[in-house]
Amino acid sequence: MRVKPFKNEEFIDFTKEKNFKAQKDAIKKVREKLGRTYNLIIGGKEYQTEKTFNSYNPSDKDEVIAKFYKGTAELANKAIEEATLTFETWRFTEPKERAKILFKAAEITRKRRLEINAYLILEAGKNFAEADGDTAEAIDFLEFYGREMLRYSEKQPITPVKGEKNELIYIPLGVGIIIPPWNFPFAILVGMSSAAIVAGNTIVLKPSSDTPMMGQVFVEIMKEAGLPEGVLNFLPGSGGEVGDTLVGHPKSRFIAFTGSMEVGIHINELAAKVQPGQIWLKRVVAEMGGKDSIVVDKETDIDEAVAGVVSAAFGYQGQKCSACSRAIVDKKVYDKFVTKLKKEVDKIQVGPAEDNFKMGPVVSESAMKSIVEYIEIGKKEGRLLNGGNFAEGNGYYLQPTVFVDIDPMARISQEEIFGPVLAVIKAENFDHAIDIANNTIFGLTGAVYSKNRKKLDKAKKHLLIGNLYFNRKCTGALVGAHPFGGFNMSGTDSKAGGRDYLLLFLQAKLMSEKIKK
């Protein structure tokens, strides 16, 4: 099977009036479909339960996006059983056939792109560019992982031995549990799910309760692409009932999770306990949180550094695990940096995502409450430079908030906030800045702004960060170009969108045959 070399999907330019209008029209069309109720899907059959829950628009907290039936422990067990049965046929489906389904899904996603963007705008509170970046990344994952499966299905290099015929192949693991986050509710959901599926596994997908509609859209796409029933089972529900049941089931073989450190640790602990009848040690692929720093050296363009920090800190309301939450600045340029930073942050306007404001709402009331608590802590730990309060509107709006003169060990410097809050820290020199950047339990992304090559080389050696960028922002990883995953409490360094990612959903089998002379 021949396919063209992988190429990243181009982003839509919404500064062009034609594109902007097309996206606004797509939002109007999607709004006509809001409020529908969606069933659970297990083994290709639809299920309903006694309880439902709503998905809301964070830009307008009274607007219901969709209603979903709430999964139960009983249905979680049934989903595992159905996925186990389907695995016995799906695992023997030729890799090229599995890859074809991903390629077709990518084409369907392209055709529905503005519609998917609209759901991301309305359900996740993303502005147009952030929503489109999410959808484009999902397309990239489908295209990239399809090609990766073809590569892994080829003859693998192995050392020849005289008198033997040896062969190494990669086979799927089994039934996987996919638990995606709400902050990249389409891209990461699609990436984890499609990687597991194309590798020959069957999955139970439990979407985030904040953004379940994005899971529903993916289910529709994969069905249209020809995915057999039972390969993808869709089970929204609570983490305590549905999630724990799925993770702890003796027939679940692996768990792919993206979310908070606390939940990731819980999943890892639960998965590590061998249940009666379990015949394997479960594999956990976890991408958790970050406390990401941008180091600003005295030898750099301050305007560029400020622009990078502002974009990384407040893009999608700071709700990216890769978001810059700490700016560590050399004391010799600290005052200049702070002055310019305040001016740029003051320009940011907050409003409804569908009106394409630079900053929209945070995702939920609980998220907003947690962020506000940290803002109050920040007011005691440093000097408030920008924001620090709610923004107007019938949604979960917060002002972009900056605290300066923060101690490196302060709570807002150490704990993940996951919102539009930036801590600015003064460093004595470049070496001190590197030490501060390494002083958290996380190690996901980060950046260094410097014109000094020796300093950049030093940062390469000493910064323990999974994705380290130089003279650019620390967000915006591209599939294939920037394989994504971090160290320490940021997760298992899974490197999503990289050439070793599919290995996490495969296992190697060696076959050796003696050759008669």
pLDDT digits (tens, 9 = 90+) for 466-488: 999 999 999 999 999 999 999 99
Dihedral of CA atoms 397, 58, 178, 502 in degrees, nearest 10, equals: -60
Its pTM surpasses 0.85 = yes
> What are the domain boundaries of the chain?
23-288+494-510, 292-479
* Tens-digit pLDDT profile for residues 405-416: 999 999 999 999
What distances in angstroms separate CA 178 from CA 188, 189, 231, 233, 259, one per listed residue?
10, 8, 12, 10, 11
**CA gap 180, 182 in Å, rounded:** 7
The letter for the amino acid at 44 is G
**CA gap 13, 16 in Å, rounded:** 6
**CA gap 191, 496 in Å, rounded:** 8
Mean pLDDT of the chain: 98
CA-wise closest residue to 3 among 102, 130, 132? 102
The encoded tokens of residue 251 equal 């027939």
**CATH architecture type of domain 292-479:** 3-Layer(aba) Sandwich (3.40)
Residue 142 is predicted with a pLDDT of 98
Say whether pLDDT at 517 is over 80: no
Annotated catalytic, 474? no
Residue 358 is predicted with a pLDDT of 97
- Catalytic residue (one of 143, 321, 344, 474): 321
Say whether pLDDT at 392 is over 80: yes
Annotated catalytic, 324? no
2 confidence band (pLDDT: 50, 70, 90): confident
DSSP annotation of 276 reads T
Q: At what angle do helices 212-224 and 187-198 cross, to 10 degrees?
A: 40
Beta-carbon-side half-sphere exposure of residue 517 (alpha carbons within 13 Å): 2
Q: At what angle do helices 331-346 and 302-314 cross, to 10 degrees?
A: 50
- Measured in degrees and rounded to the nearest 5, phi and psi for residue 501 equal -65, -45
- Catalytic residue (one of 63, 287, 344, 416): 287
**CATH architecture type of domain 23-288+494-510:** 3-Layer(aba) Sandwich (3.40)
Say whether pLDDT at 1 is over 90: no
Residue 444 is inside which H or E element, if any?
none
Residue 516 is predicted with a pLDDT of 84
| DSSP-derived pairing of the beta strands 324-330 and 421-427 | parallel
